Structure 1
């Protein structure tokens, strides 16, 4: 029963992370209309700093110990570079296409989880990953139009995110999710500031709501992801995260009039059914 409850809690945290990632992408796109992408990364981290200063005092004793600091540094250098490329994609490509391209990440996650974490490659996990990837291809139907420099950057970002997620999984063995997020802010804020100063543009009051959406979305997305990874294997969670693609397509349609058609719902159904089968199989395994 305890394992079953932990499984459901992991899925709930993953749902929070998915919604937060979409909110972050909308806030980042709106900010990039007036600010540079480097400023977007800086202000996302700056909002996160104010949040952890306000509510994260209990985490400071753990953070001051600086345990696994080298792993924190590597994880955040990789993640910062990946999110820079990803944000370029968010600005230049339809949201559904960005998330679809990002979901080449399960290939990397599965590889890194096997190599670095020694996770088992069970049949249900491989099937869910394959089904999710198939659903993504149905949604975007990639062809010559997808051969775009921005699309290539998103693919590079996907590999970086995959490695970053595995490093987060390793960090959760000895660090709390809250401390992982605090270190993310402390490391990426100066990186973002240094980058933003090379391409600084005027900031207006109208930018503040989008800063808050992007910053709070980033913070809650990574906290939710760390909480989910603490409870479940990465190779379980990534196939579930495929659902972000049809959700992003709906948001793109509602806010940006991005085209949406039957293929989006067909691909979403494939993703949902493959994940549903994998979830049932994993629950049966954990309930033994």
Structure 2
């Protein structure tokens, strides 16, 4: 008869599967946001895509603004909010260009370099130790990127470089969010994200404004709601699962994006993208295991 202490508690099992469910919703939201953004870009400029994505987000957070207002009016760490959102907005701009020009699977595979940048900026800004394992993960991640873009085998698409810059910006943004959480709630951080990025998006969109068609509205809703939903669902998953579980599950975004790209846009499924993404994932997982042992 097995010892009950060796079996996972029913509550733990339930929490695990709920976390997996949130991860599934997060992955679906990320892919939905990318599809909505690509479809909008068929008739609108990239800058308009960012503006309308933030505009939809404004309507969503308006439902919760009354509860957040007492905290928002204190404007805690406002300069840091401003810096974080300028960096994040820049990353979104380059990421959206990648979504429009590259196969969806390639975009998500290159985005998996973000943990490497998080480690670097955490060392440079927060003073966190840059361990040997993390340095090896950086080397492995760089090798994975080379496998994906394959320089020397034809012309490297410049959009791949833009996605890497976006991953770097997202990594810096995540480190800045970590600083913001010392004095701000997650809800306030998301609210400031919309309130700051909306005027940034409007200012950028006015420099390249194109007529808005009614057919774009459903894609605006998909991209805007998907953007907020993706981050919210990821946060819910992280409340229930270790990062060492979340990262391998999140890796499924690459084959799912490849399947979506093949089904909707007829994109060729490239085995090199999967191989490179697996190398990047493996390098980061090895670093995470070493960090946990240490």
- Structure 1 segment 33-182 matched on structure 2, within 5 A: 33-119=42-128, 143-145=152-154, 147-182=156-191
Deviates more, 1:158-167 or 1:44-53: 158-167
Matches within 5 A, 1:20-35: 20-35=29-44
> Offset at 1:139?
6.0
Q: Does 1:191 align with 2:200?
A: yes
Please, which moves more after superposition, 223-232 or 211-220? Answer: 223-232
Flag the structure with larger Rg.
2
**2:253 matched to which residue of 1?**
244
Question: How far apart, in 1, do the equivalents of 2:247 and 2:74 lie?
Answer: 31
Deviation at 1:274, TM superposition (A): 7.3
Summarize the Cα distance change of 1:80–1:231 in structure 2 as closer, same or farther, 3 Å threshold. farther
Contact 1:113/1:234, CA 8 A, preserved across alignment? no
Equivalent in the alignment of 1:212: 221
- In the other structure, the counterpart of 1:202 is 211
Q: Residue deviations 1:42-73, cap 9 Å, x none?
A: 00000000011123431221111111111110
**8 A contact 1:169–1:229 mirrored in 2:** no
Q: How far did 1:81 drift?
A: 1.1
* Cα distance in structure 1, aligned partners of 2:82 and 2:161: 25
Residue 240 of structure 1: CA displacement? 5.9
RMSD: 3.8
SS in 1 for 2:63: helix
Structure-1 separation of matches of 2:128 and 2:226: 29
**Contact preservation (8 Å) 2:98, 2:159:** yes
Q: Distance in 2 between matches of 1:121 and 1:229?
A: 23
User: What do the CA deviations read for 1:206-230 (whole angstroms, capped 9, x no partner)?
Assistant: 1111000100011122334556678
- CA 154–108 in structure 1, closer or farther in 2 if over 3 Å, else same: same
For 2:183, what is the secondary structure of its paired residue? coil
Per-residue deviation, 1:88: 1.0
TM-score, normalised with respect to structure 1: 0.79
SS in 1 for 2:178: helix
Q: Give TM-score, length-normalised by structure 2.
A: 0.78
CA pair 196-219 structure 1, distance change in 2 beyond 3 A = same
Q: In structure 1, what is the Cα distance between the partners aligned to 2:142 and 2:248?
A: 8
CA contact (8 A) 1:125 1:235 kept: no
Give a deviation string over 1:115-153, Cα, whole Å, max 9, x none: 334446678877777777766766665654462222222
TM superposition shift of 1:256: 1.0
The unaligned stretches of length 5 or more in structure 2 are: 1-7
Aligned pair count? 282
Distance 1:233 1:60 in 2: 32
**1:110 CA drift (Å):** 1.4
Task: Point out where structure 1 has 5 or more consecutive residues left out of the alignment.
Answer: none
Distance 2:279 2:125 in 1: 30
Displacement after TM superposition at 1:272 (Å):
7.3
